[in-house]
């Protein structure tokens, strides 16, 4: 059963009141230093919380009926719909989904014996207010998500592991729940990125190269260092 502490934390995430470092600290504490079983339980709690939130949205967006006089049929219902908060709901759901996906990603990387520095965020040397991100991550497309995984070294790490070192197709399927994208969306992008060949779907060769530079800039902004230019 989801704890009150977890509910309060997820409420803060829902309201966009939690910094990335605070999320990492909560996950670490709630799962006894990233214990795989407890991370799975926390991911399930996030899923249940998201389901409850969607149910709440459905109730708030239920069609209200107002009786209007009709000469022939008496009182007839007139539909009144709520649309002003659609953007808020969409961005809020996205934030919760990203949190759940990041926890699942930790479980996958831990199962593959990923080094700690691949799944843990660095603690800043001094406490400062986190500036606005350069990119709105809540609206990231599949291509951008794959670029992030590539630039952070996650793809290079996974492709060396069984069975992904023999099948990019299986890696694409494993990334479906993590990225929240369809397999047939991930596969055409993943193939050329990992195989490093020119393709209209490869963001490192097509018109998306500017997006690659933006993502690198964002990662540098977060404190990520690159050994050499790709």
What pLDDT, in 10s, does the model give residues 19-31?
A: 776 788 888 888 8
Q: Which two tokens stand for residue 106?
A: 């930790």
Domain that holds residue 114: 1-63+82-120
pLDDT: is 190 or 224 the higher one?
Answer: 190
Q: Would 46 be classed as within a structural domain? A: yes
- At how many degrees (to 10) do helices 36-60 and 4-14 cross? 60
Distance of CA 103 to the CA centre of its chain: 9
Residue 219 near residue 140 (C-beta atoms within 8 A): no
pLDDT mean over 143-147 = 89
Number of domains composing the chain: 2
What pLDDT, in 10s, does the model give residues 174-200?
A: 999 888 899 999 999 999 899 888 888
In the predicted structure, residue 117 carries a pLDDT above the cut 60: no
Predicted confidence at residue 223, as pLDDT, reads 81
Query: In angstroms, what is the C-alpha Rg of the chain?
Result: 21
- Quick one: 158 and 91 in the same domain? no
Confidence of residue 59 (pLDDT cuts 50, 70, 90): low
Q: Would 68 be classed as within a structural domain? A: no
| Global confidence as pTM | 0.44
Sign of CA dihedral 168, 173, 176, 181: positive
- Quick one: 170 and 87 in the same domain? no
- Quick one: 148 and 222 in the same domain? yes
Predicted confidence at residue 35, as pLDDT, reads 85
């Amino acid at each position: 059963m989801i704890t009150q502490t977890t509910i309060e934390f997820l409420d803060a995430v829902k309201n966009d009141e939690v910094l990335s470092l605070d999320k990492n600290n909560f996950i670490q504490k709630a799962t006894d230093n990233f214990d795989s079983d407890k991370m799975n339980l926390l991911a399930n709690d996030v899923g249940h919380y998201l389901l409850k939130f969607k149910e709440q949205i459905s109730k708030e967006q239920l069609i209200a009926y107002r009786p209007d006089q009709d000469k022939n049929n008496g009182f007839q219902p007139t539909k009144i719909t709520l649309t002003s908060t659609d953007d808020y709901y969409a961005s809020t759901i996205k934030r919760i989904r990203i949190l759940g996906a990041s926890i699942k990603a930790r479980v996958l990387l831990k199962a593959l014996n990923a080094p700690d520095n691949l799944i843990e965020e660095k603690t800043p040397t001094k406490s400062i207010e986190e500036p606005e991100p350069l990119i709105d991550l809540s609206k990231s497309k599949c291509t951008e998500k794959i670029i992030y995984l590539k630039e952070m070294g996650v793809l290079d790490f996974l492709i060396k592991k069984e069975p992904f070192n023999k099948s990019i197709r299986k890696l694409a399927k494993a990334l479906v729940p993590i990225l929240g994208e369809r397999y047939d969306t991930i596969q055409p992008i993943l193939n050329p990125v990992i195989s490093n060949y020119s393709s209209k779907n490869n963001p490192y060769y097509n018109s998306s190269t500017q997006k690659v530079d933006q993502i690198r800039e964002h990662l540098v902004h977060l404190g990520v260092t690159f050994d050499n230019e790709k």
